Each structure stands twice: as C-alpha cells, then as structure tokens.
Chain A
C-alpha cells in the first residue's frame, strides 16, 4: 500500500502548519535511520566473512580434512565437515518432508473443523518455538541415553528434522489452501477418487510453493549448530557413514576452529563460514527463483 505525498492541497485550503510538517519530517528521518541502522551489521558481517573467508577458501580447503593436523598447522580443510553437513541435512529432509507434507495434507484436505486438526495446529505452533538446543537435548535423552546409540550424524539429523517439521507443515498448509476448490470439484466431477485428486491434481498445483518452503527450511537448519554439538560429537577425519561414529559438520567445525587460539584455526573458521553462507544463499536464491518462476495458482 502506498500513501501519496501530502503537499499543500489545491483550491486554496490552508497549508499544513509548520509544527505538523516538522513532526512528519522527524518521523521520516527516524524511519530512514532505522533502516540504515539495520543494514550496517548486515554489511559488516558479509564483508568480514567475504574478505576473511576468501583468504583461505581454496581447493585444498574443500577437498582435505583436518585428519592428522593440529590446529596450529597451516593447510587442512573442511571436507569432512561439508560431507557431514550435506548428509545430515539430506537425512533430516528425507525424514521431515514426507511427515510434514502428509500432516499438511491432513490439516487442509481432511481435518477441517475436527478436534484432532485443531490440536495438531496448536502443537505445530508449539514446535515452531522449540529452541534448537532443546531439540538437541531431547534427541540426546531419547536416542543416546535411553536407547543407548552412539554419537552419529544420524542423531544430529533427527534433531534437525524436528526443527524442520513445523516449517514444512506450515508451508504445505499455506500452499494447499491457495489451490482453488474448483480444481478439486472438477476432479471429483470426473469421478476421480479423493486420494488421486489430492496426489495428482492438488499437490502438483501447489508443488512449487511447497518445494520453495522446504528449501527455505533446509537453508535454516543447515546453519543450526547447537543440537549438532550435543549429538554428532567431533572428528577430524572424513566419515562418510552418517549412521556410525562421530561426524563433522560445517557449523560445529566453525565452533571448534573459532574457539582455538591459533590464527590458522581462526582463518579456517572464516573460510568455513563463507562456505556455509554460500550454501545457504544458494538454497535461498534457488527457492526464490523457483517461487518467481511458477507462482502457485491464485484464487
């Protein structure tokens, strides 16, 4: 919505008094200042990550692990962390998306007005507010302590899946609600059973939007550190099996390298931060492009 600028109205009406004009101008200045104030930290963070990260981000960094190196050594890389992050995020997506999308389908297509649907909606809200460290503590209490499994990438991805789930449910819900009821009715009129209508008419219509939502959710959990610290433990070597043994990940890699007093380690932390931000921006940009490319059908 836009408000057209107010000058002196035509037709000889009295002009806006100086006091009112001064108040208007003050607010305008304050509001612009607020925006500038917000851009400063963004520019600073991105600039620091870019300049400090580029110093060390090279092929060695991407293809070597830290195996056998001590933190004061030159060289070394984050390959083990990149492998770990991709696997953990992939696994959590594989768990959260089917569950989340089906729950979204239930809420929109089947649950209207039912008590179960209201309860689920309420708890999706609760789940959105779970601090990531609490999700990590839960998986630790459940998977590591109660069931006795060892630290692994999979344990980390369980926590990430919990954090993704409410976002996926919400995105699916929003997008399915945008699908016109006429489409469903046209399908029913042709005698198509309900489940085929949902799977082959409703879902494809909403697909782009759902994929966008999922990509944004993935980008969000990719930077999660706290639960991984509790669940995947730490290793310097490449572990390509997420189901057994400690694994690396980019966020925990940054955490350990940044906490190290050696300047070589801190350089690696910046380079890993740049890698992580690039991955996340790529997903974000992809999601936005996809959303623009094929807007969901509006009512």
Chain B
C-alpha cells in the first residue's frame, strides 16, 4: 500500500517549477468544451467528497438518536439490543493504542532504513534495496492478516509469555490470559505495514538535504554520523515528523489485518499481552454481517469518528510540511 500520492507530494515540493500559464480558453468551441470537461471532473471529485460527509452523517444520526448510552464514553457495543446500547470508548482505545504502539516501534526502524539506504548502502545497491523495502508495501493487508493469524500469532504467543513472566511487573505487560492474538501482536503487524511508508517518505526528505551542507560538514572533518547529526537531521526534522504522522494515519485506518489477528473481547485493558481487544475499523468489518438497521447506523457513526481522527492526523502532518516549506 505504498502511498504514491504522499511520495508524489514530497516530489512536488522538490520540483517547484512548471510550465508557462495562459488564459483558460481561446474561445474556440473545442477549447471551451475541453476546459469545461476537465473543470467538471474536478468539481465532481469535490462532489464525491461532499457526498461522503453528507451520507455518513445522515445515516448515522437515526442510530445515534436511538442509542440509550453515551456514544463517546460507553464501552459496550451492542446496537442490536433493545434498546440499543453502544459507545466507541473501547474501540477508540484499541485503535489509538495499537496505532501508537505501532508508531513507536516503526519510526526508529524506518528512520534507520532511510538513513541506511540514503547514506550507508553501496550506491549501486541502494535503488534495489529501496525497492525491496517498497515491496513490503505492495503486500496487501489481507495477506498480512492471513500471515498474522496462522503464523505470526503463534510466535507472538511465546514472546508474550516470555514478556509476561519476566517483565510482568510493568503494568503494560501484566495480567493473565496471555496469548498471541493480543493488542501487541496487532501493533507489531501494523508497525510492519507502516514501515515502508515512513521510510520512503523520509528518503524523499533526505534527498532534499542541500549537498553544500553535507560537504561543509565533511570539510570540517566530521565523521559520517556527525554529518548526519549536523546537516541531515536538522534539515529533515519536520519532514521526518510528518512522515511518521502520515504513517500513523495509515495505521489508524487499517482494518483487515487487525480484524483477523485480534480475538475480539470486550473491555478496556492496559495489559497489551492479553488475548482480545478491538479497534473501530476491525469492529466494522467483524460485526457488519449481523448488523440490523440501527447497528448499521451505529457502525457508520463509528466510521465517521475514525474518519475525523485520521483527518486530523493527516492534516497536522501536511501542516507541518507546509510550514516548513515556507521557511525553507
């Protein structure tokens, strides 16, 4: 799932120049028709976006009105009951927790990969190694889910037991009913999935580091690490932060791999090694099949919350890049 668009965006920051502009139409009929058609497509795209917001809100409202619990604080998800009781507290917790843990694990590794490919790998191999990491992004999430469910979770079972035995005194690793289909396993799989996104965006940022800065540092007798510390990291900081945030946005919305790996169980728990947990997106995929009228509305409402969370994260990331561009 490499985000071509995100990468493209970084490239477009680099290539600021473009062609000469001229008036929209020369007044000939062919010109008018073509200009209108292309403009209409752009407007159609806006209409789709507007429709997404309108329909999600419209279909969510009746379910929210039928809800007898507080949508934001209730932990139970039971919209099929009479009267319906549902809230996203547990789901939102699972979503934020898994994504945050995934970000924590993926970011240092992703930055390491970007540094390796940009500055350490032999020049001839660099492109091929970059392609190898991008391959991670080409594997669809359903395949990660299958791998996670039937292979990786059995391995994580042992890891979980080990952590629980020796580090159980840390609340995060405590608790009983330790298993492989836990929030931790889901987080590791999410981390693997966002790794290539963060690292390829970071590589784009490193490409823009002015050669003069690097050469100046080298001329002062800096070692390779000192060059990176003095010239590369200060220049790339905002780009690296926004790369990590775009990765976070991806992790928040990821559905299928998480839905397959987690064995759904209710309740908010700090013990990430326990079997169970749930996320907003996984809950939609898992409980859609038996959803009635109200339950569908409830799922749409939870999807809306997910959309808003990812939107905020993505917009913040873009704002960081935009601000950086102004001062660069």
Residue positions of A touching B, CB distance < 8 A: 1-6, 9, 13, 16, 20-21, 23-24, 26-28, 30-35, 37-39, 41-42, 44-46, 48-49, 98-100, 102-103, 105-113, 116-117, 119-120, 123-135, 137-138, 140-142, 145-146, 162, 165-167, 169-171, 173-174, 177-181, 184-185, 188, 193-196, 198-199, 213, 216-217, 219-220, 222-226, 229-230, 251, 254-255, 258-259, 266, 269-270, 273, 276-277, 280-281, 284, 288, 299
Contact = CB atoms under 8 A, between A and B. Distances in A.
Interface string B99-120: 0000000001111110111111
B141 A103 contact: no
B143 A138 contact: no
16 contacts: A6-B218, A6-B222, A23-B226, A24-B225, A31-B116, A34-B115, A46-B139, A116-B42, A133-B253, A134-B52, A137-B284, A141-B300, A146-B59, A174-B11, A194-B31, A255-B142
B24 interface: yes
Interface string B1-34: 1111110110110010111111011101011011
A280 B143 CA distance: 12
A194 B20 contact: no
Contacts of B139: 42, 45-46, 223, 277
B7 to A, nearest CB: 9
Nearest to A298: B15
A42 B218 contact: no
A38 B133 contact: yes
B140 A99 contact: no
B45 A165 contact: yes
Contact of A133 (B3, B38, B284): B284
A193 B35 CA distance: 12
Contacts of B109: 34, 37-38
* Contact residues on B (Cβ < 8 Å of other chain), bracket: 35 or more
Interface in B127-150: 129, 131-133, 135-136, 138-147, 149-150
Nearest to A181: B19
Query: A interface, by DSSP: helix, strand, loop or mixed?
Result: helix
A171 B24 contact: no
In the A-B complex, the 4 residue pairs with the closest CB atoms: A223-B140, A131-B253, A34-B112, A181-B19
A266 B310 CA distance: 33
Contacts of B214: 1, 3
Given A44-B147, A277-B139, 7 more contacts: A1-B207, A23-B225, A34-B111, A48-B147, A102-B42, A134-B306, A177-B12
A156 to B, nearest CB: 14
Interface string B192-235: 10011001000000110101001000100111111110000000
Given A34-B108, A120-B42, A229-B285, A138 B55 contact: yes
Interface in B289-328: 296, 299-300, 303-304, 306-307, 310-311, 313-315, 318
B221 A137 contact: no
Contacts of A48: 147, 151
B1 A220 contact: yes
A181 B195 CA distance: 37
A86 to B, nearest CB: 15
Contact of B42 (A26, A103, A193, A213): A103
B20 A254 contact: no
Contacts of A196: 30
Contacts of A44: 147, 151-152
B143 A49 contact: yes
Contacts of A31: 112-113, 115-116, 120
Residue with the highest number of chain A CB atoms closer than 10 Å, among B17, B41, B214, B315:
B41
Most buried by B among A146, A255, A277, A299: A255
A3 B140 CA distance: 36
User: Which one of A98, A117, A230, A276 has the greatest number of beta carbons of chain B within 10 Å?
Assistant: A230
A88 to B, nearest CB: 14
Contact of B120 (A20, A32, A110, A276): A32
B112 A133 contact: no
Nearest to A101: B41
Contact of B46 (A105, A120, A174): A120
Contact of A20 (B56, B113, B223, B288): B223
B256 interface: yes
B184 to A, nearest CB: 15
Contact of B288 (A27, A109, A230): A230
Given A16-B221, A162-B48, A185-B20, A128 B138 contact: no
Given A37-B109, A222-B140, A137 B303 contact: yes
Contact of A181 (B18, B112, B281, B310): B18
Contact of B260 (A37, A102, A259): A259
Contacts of A198: 34
Given A116-B42, A146-B59, A258 B145 contact: yes
B226 A24 contact: yes
A45 B281 contact: no
Given A9-B221, A230-B288, A129 B192 contact: no
